[in-house]
Structure 1
């Protein structure tokens, strides 16, 4: 009896199993840590105070995700579907908040908007004795939402641009008004994009330490970091981290219930479609729409950038000498580039297995990969060190181990970008290529990847920028003497040298600027040019 084995699917399945092993390293470390403890950790976890922290954490995650979604949907709709001016300018600025580390933005907000902050000092001659409280839940929610909404904006804006106008026009012909068409047609088509973005925002919020610690809102991540700083309580910290893993699992299960397996491509050659006509706004509507965009951009971009500029100029006037080591720029960019390349390669393999074969191993790999994005960087770093010392000791204190930590942290970012682009390719393209005698790998290299190249680059750029600002994993996993922009920022800030921390922070923003512009205009798009060139297809 002859058994037909799909070599491509077999190779991708084996590769995905290897990735499952890699991304499971932190989970294995946490389990070993907890099970190796002689004490009763459950008594420490199931306390009234821990229940309160769980409620606080979940409330923050939910609130940040919803507010980020509202901001992203609003900006995407105004920029993509209306005839407002300065669209390119607004698009770039709407993406830029993603480059600000939460600990930098948090310090700026506290320094300027705190009860005894600079703005209150400027307003005291006008009779303003105290500004509204920014600490706690509302301050953390607003700050994290302003920093997180670009994850959703990038994906939603791209998906909104790919929706076939015929579908929405058919709804209008059937008597549905604009609001009903948006709710019944547009939103369901945006469901995969919204789901992918919401997962990233939720897990980012779940794992954030910088913003919540500076704004004094105790979450699980803050409790974990506090316990890790006390070496005698690391078992408790590992137990808390396992609770975060449970939260991440619940988020992924919820995502699976919301987004069912459906076809989201359109009938064009590559999944491209006729764009919807822009909504003509009257003057008052244009002014209001532009005001909304400016209001969001002011607090998410201009305000943090002004804070950095203020610190830098004030330090220069005070005579503070800034001796900057430019090697930090090379270190940051080199490891970020290696992390991006590694994540893109792994994500391509996994996305092919999911989209082309609907393979359960690939789907499992994707789900497990999101756990890393939801854990604090310190937990992942300690897990990588644990495995590095036990299994791969030659890699200890090397760049390779640092890159491994980055892959565990940021792999879901590239998976989301690449899989989202692949889902919008008409599957009949691969069938046409195979029917013409081309092998699967030829079709993938010559047709599939060129079609989604913008999505591939977008995912890689996102990882590049996230790696540039990553702090805990870099501090723990980097070889001795290896410093980056993020570690330099934290080192100066922790010693209250704000002018010295402002310079590398501004460099971080300026370096990320061109990549942000690419994300704003080319990310998550697909093209039918490779189809025409390689299959000689005419539309």
Structure 2
């Protein structure tokens, strides 16, 4: 593994000017991403400057800002500690059963956050507040850090660690001085996903009665229909997202990591746990029980209470088919939309590529209800034929979940050495031919991982689906939410179980493809 600065000058076979066939799709996606922002800005202009200031200066806004910032300040570091610690134990220690632990610690991603919240509320009905929010979010989102960091650890060249150890550096100094800097891209990408989910999550926090900007925006739109107040809150949410993106971009820097060839020069040295084996197993078991065991046990309990009458085969079959169809279609469209942006960000880093990339992150941080309402308003005014169609719903999914595809795609492209493309071109391949035969093959595992992440997001999406889906279309998530909102937990249990069963294979695919990307 070598670290090289992003090039500032042209190299053989490579122009500093990106291909038009990449720039145009990236610009189209960015323009579509700006539509919700334009909706919020137009609403602000419509209500006037004085009214906007009055809405923003309310004590309630300060309370929500404090809740959101505190939630992020606690949850993101916890996810980093659990994700990095678990990945290191599995990849770099003599942990017994490490292959099984490797998969088990990724599987909480198969359980949507609102299902985890439903399970914990069933166990502790009084669960609420910031502590509940941190608990649910950490148990739901730590795999976003664990999976990419584990894949990065599997790919790192252990020769660098051997050199550091030969210089007299102890295990702790080797980890923090040699290993951790090489995990920066994976660590920051995972942390960014956690932060964005904290900004936009609705169902999990609504169920435990913990107010964030997103839950209150939903209340404004659904209860009082106070659009201006909701738009002002959405504006604050977008500012928070922009600040996160600026911090993440500064921490990411311009360094890229790439290794030529498959395999490594030598196997990594696994640290002997010795007497620490039992504490390590205990900690990982606790994480697995809290994130997997509790939700699955609660779902099983409600299924037992509900009995056979909770299963309506005629309705459930249609809901499953619609969920699978929307998930697969949304994943394909989102990965295709993310590829030009990821390519520009890695191969042609600069102000323009950063702006195009960050535009989509800002949109993804919006609550689904804000994006959905902007699409409804725009479609009714300009393209009425798109209103309540599958096409509009899939476009909304792509804009909401683009970062889930961008993060693994960027990592995959960054680890596909450009010199291999140049070598193929030197042997007579055209630029497009070298891309298809060399780069695309190397990036395919990352693309599959991104598609799996998008599928998981689509399967568990609530707000945009409720507002934009065609008449008669329901997903497992929306049907579960409808029943659980009526406190029919037994009736909601079959949909929760099926949602987990559908998401579990995609989570495993995401995990395996991440490992394949590490083995390239």
Query: TM-score normalized by structure 1?
Result: 0.90
Residue 26 of structure 1 is aligned with which of 14, 33, 36? 36
User: Once the 2 structures are TM-superposed, how far is the Cα of residue 275 of structure 1 from its aligned partner?
Assistant: 4.2
**Residue 271 (structure 2) pairs with residue 279 (structure 1):** yes
Structure 2 partner of 1:316: 307
Structure 1 contact 339–463 (Cα < 8 Å) conserved: yes
| 93 and 55 in structure 1: CA distance in 2 versus 1, 3 angstrom threshold | same
1:412 maps onto 2:403 in alignment: yes
List gaps (5 residues or longer) in structure 1: 116-133, 530-539
Kindly tell me: are residues 278 and 49 of structure 1, through their superposed partners in 2, closer, same or farther at Cα, counting changes over 3 Å? same
Question: How far off its partner does 1:351 sit?
Answer: 1.7
In structure 1, what is the equivalent of residue 96 of structure 2? 85
Aligned CA distance change for structure 1 residues 497 and 230 (closer, same or farther; 3 Å): closer
1:179 to 1:25, Cα distance in 2 relative to 1, 3 A: same
3-state DSSP class of the match of 1:526? helix
Q: Deviations over 1:82-141 (max 9, x none)?
A: 1222223222221121122222221221121234xxxxxxxxxxxxxxxxxx42111110
1:194 corresponding residue in structure 2: 187
Q: State yes or no: 1:330 paired with 2:321.
A: yes
3-state SS, counterpart of residue 230 of structure 1: helix
SS in 2 for 1:263: strand
Q: Which residue pairs with 1:122 in the alignment?
A: none
Q: 2:446 aligns with which of 447, 455, 468?
A: 455
Alpha-carbon separation, structure 2, partners of 1:392 and 1:359: 35
Superposition map of 1:78-117 within 5 A:
78-115=89-126
> Aligned partners of 1:221, 1:450: CA distance in 2, in Å?
39
Selected match of 1:152 from 145, 161, 184: 145
Structure 2: segments with no counterpart, 5+ residues: 1-13
Aligned to 1:178: 171
Distance 2:255 2:242 in 1: 22
1:296-445 to 2 correspondences below 5 Å: 296-316=287-307, 322-323=312-313, 324-445=315-436
Q: Which residue of 2 aligns with 1:130?
A: none
Q: Once the 2 structures are TM-superposed, how far is the Cα of residue 363 of structure 1 from its aligned partner?
A: 2.3
Aligned to 1:118: none
Aligned to 1:265: 258
Q: Does 1:516 pair with 2:517?
A: no
Distance in 1 of aligned mates of 2:364 and 2:494: 28
CA distance in 1, matches of 2:378, 2:72: 30
Q: Is the 8 A contact 1:17 1:361 kept in 2?
A: no
The offset of 1:513, in angstroms, is 1.8
CA shift for structure 1 position 279: 2.0
Contact 1:99–1:466 (Cα < 8 Å) also in 2: no
Describe the superposition over 1:56-105 as per-residue Cα deviations: whole angstroms up to 9, x where unpaired.
21110121111111110111011111122222322222112112222222
In structure 1, the partner of 2:8 is none
1:12 to 13, 19, 22: 22
Residue aligned with 2:19, SS: helix
The 1:329/1:486 distance shift into structure 2, 3 A limit, reads same
Distance 2:343 2:412 in 1: 11
Are the aligned partners of 2:111 and 2:503 in contact in 1 as well (CA < 8 Å)? no
Q: Distance in 2 between matches of 1:67 and 1:382?
A: 34
Of residues 196-205 and 437-446 in structure 1, the stretch that sits farther from structure 2 once superposed is: 437-446
Q: 1:125 aligns to what?
A: none
